Amino acid sequence: MRILSHDTAVDLLRSQGLSNGAEAERVLDGFDFNKPVYEQDFWPGDVLYQLIRNPSSSLPLPTAGNWFGLAGITTRNVAINDGLSGRHAAKFEVLAWFRALEGTARELPVDLGRAIGGPGGATQVFIPSFLLGRLQSAGPVDRW
């Protein structure tokens, strides 16, 4: 684990394929840099959770995204909301080692169209798309 500044977090995201500066800034905008942000190692057997959007007319086939949390994740504490169709919790197991950006979710204004917003405050993890294959769904879990 290594504590990152804003600039070193950008470097990590660039090294993981987010070469577009605006795209990296959108990711970093979700983290509270008043609290530590880390380059975190994840190992086989580690577990992460995700609150996946339920099917809707605009997203009929929802898939896992890039944002994960730890046990106890709630929509409010990772600054997302249920949007119009709701969300369900899913558990993911790490199959192969990787490094990812981990930190505290910052407070975001509510935007029902994008299903984001809330007080934040919990640990969240951003995993670039090319690393998602190192996770395996372990199925749905009850929401906290």
Q: Domain extents for the chain?
A: 2-139
Looking at residue 64, what is its pLDDT? 84
Looking at residue 56, what is its pLDDT? 81
- CA dist list (Å): 19 to 8, 66, 95, 98, 117: 14, 16, 26, 19, 26
Model pLDDT for residues 27-50, shown as the tens digit of each residue? 999 999 999 999 999 999 999 999
- As a dihedral over the C-alpha atoms of residue 98, residue 72, residue 117, residue 89, rounded to 10 degrees, the angle is 80
pLDDT at 13 over 90: yes
Structure token pair of residue 86: 């709701």
Looking at residue 115, what is its pLDDT? 82
Please compute the mean of the pLDDT values over residues 115-136 and round it to a whole number: 95
Please compute the mean of the pLDDT values over residues 102-111 and round it to a whole number: 95
